[in-house]
Amino acid sequence: MQRIDKKLELATAYKAWLDKLDQSGAQHPAYNARHEFYNDVRANLLWVQAGLCAYTETLLISSDRVRPELWKDGRFVGETNKRLNPFGQLDHYDHELKIIRGWDWDNLFFIHSDINNRKGTKKAQILKPDRVDYRPDQYLDYDPTNHLFLANPTLTRESRNAVELDIDILGLNFDAIVDHRIEYLSKLFAYLEYGGYTIEQCRALLNKFPTAFEMGATKINA
């Protein structure tokens, strides 16, 4: 799970609306997919997330489909006669905030639908990809043989337990995700270890699972 620089620079109409709402101290309107800014929020998130699920890093849509040229006056207009249809849903990282602050940018990510359904109302404690001080290698380790994320063994036992719980809540080792990583990354690791590819050449082929790749490649190159 990579760190996300969650800049709110495209959906500026939503940002102005949210700033005004927060300054007034009013409760957020009910969260639903028919809201005026729903499409803008998810398009801006997909742009800063490089089209990937914020947690599992599966590819949800090409980020080219939400590029800055497809915005006008702070609203996402998209490609002519084309509706934005990514895999995935908006997720409220802290589900308890959904009722009173359902449109809070800091609490929203775009993630794979199955991961969102599986996560439900459960709340992660440590792993939050837009935290300023979040670094994947500080909290996570990666087993490139079995393609599993683990808690960093240098953490205290209490922190390891919390990270392991977050790994489960956020679906990082969900069986189907692991299967996709095995299929996708095994080839790249083989190129790196036996095929004479440099790490830069392998990176150029990546369109998903960047954190797993970087951690696994480091071990292969060690």
* pLDDT tens digit sequence for 139-192: 999 999 999 999 999 999 999 999 999 999 999 999 999 999 999 999 999 999
Look at residue 18 and tell me whether its pLDDT is greater than 80. yes
Please tell me the distance from the alpha carbon of residue 12 to that of residue 72, in angstroms, as a whole number: 10
Query: pLDDT category, 220, cuts 50, 70, 90?
Result: confident
- From 65, 86, 119, the end of a domain falls on 119
Look at residue 121 and tell me whether its pLDDT is greater than 70. yes
- From 91, 119, 147, the end of a domain falls on 119
Q: Quick one: which of 64, 66, 21, 4 has its CA closest to 41? A: 66
- In this prediction, residue 182 carries a pLDDT of 97
- In this prediction, residue 131 carries a pLDDT of 95
Note whether residue 126 is domain-resident.
Answer: no
- In this prediction, residue 83 carries a pLDDT of 77
Q: Are residues 156 and 196 in the same domain?
A: yes
How many structural domains does the chain have? 2
Residue 124: partners with Cβ closer than 8 Å, 6 or more residues away: 93, 165, 166, 169, 170
Q: Are residues 24 and 112 in the same domain?
A: yes
Q: Are residues 38 and 114 in the same domain?
A: yes
Look at residue 1 and tell me whether its pLDDT is greater than 80. yes
216 three-state secondary structure: helix
76 three-state secondary structure: strand
Q: Are residues 111 and 18 in the same domain?
A: yes
Q: Are residues 16 and 106 in the same domain?
A: yes
Q: Are residues 115 and 143 in the same domain?
A: no
Please tell me the distance from the alpha carbon of residue 61 to that of residue 66, in angstroms, as a whole number: 9
Please tell me the distance from the alpha carbon of residue 176 to that of residue 71, in angstroms, as a whole number: 34
Look at residue 79 and tell me whether its pLDDT is greater than 90. no
Q: Are residues 153 and 89 in the same domain?
A: no
Q: Quick one: which of 49, 81, 54 has its CA closest to 66? A: 49
- In this prediction, residue 26 carries a pLDDT of 87
Name the DSSP letter for residue 36. T
Mean pLDDT, residues 37-60: 97
The chain-wide mean pLDDT, for the chain, equals: 95
Query: pLDDT category, 221, cuts 50, 70, 90?
Result: confident
Is the CB of residue 212 less than 8 Å from the CB of residue 185?
A: yes
Q: Are residues 50 and 144 in the same domain?
A: no
Note whether residue 129 is domain-resident.
Answer: no
Q: Are residues 144 and 73 in the same domain?
A: no
Distance (Å) of CA 214 to CA 118, 143, 209 = 26, 12, 9
Note whether residue 143 is domain-resident.
Answer: yes
Residue 99: partners with Cβ closer than 8 Å, 6 or more residues away: none
Q: In angstroms, how far is the first alpha carbon of the chain from the final one?
A: 22
Q: Are residues 152 and 208 in the same domain?
A: yes
Note down the domain range covering 74: 12-119
Q: Are residues 106 and 30 in the same domain?
A: yes
Note whether residue 128 is domain-resident.
Answer: no
Please tell me the distance from the alpha carbon of residue 195 to that of residue 168, in angstroms, as a whole number: 34
Note whether residue 177 is domain-resident.
Answer: yes
Note whether residue 130 is domain-resident.
Answer: no
- Is pTM beyond 0.85? Reply is yes
Query: pLDDT category, 81, cuts 50, 70, 90?
Result: low
Look at residue 222 and tell me whether its pLDDT is greater than 80. no
Is the CB of residue 163 less than 8 Å from the CB of residue 151?
A: yes
Q: Quick one: which of 83, 100, 10 has its CA closest to 49? A: 10
- From 84, 119, 154, the end of a domain falls on 119
Q: Quick one: which of 52, 214, 49 has its CA closest to 142? A: 214
Q: Are residues 167 and 97 in the same domain?
A: no
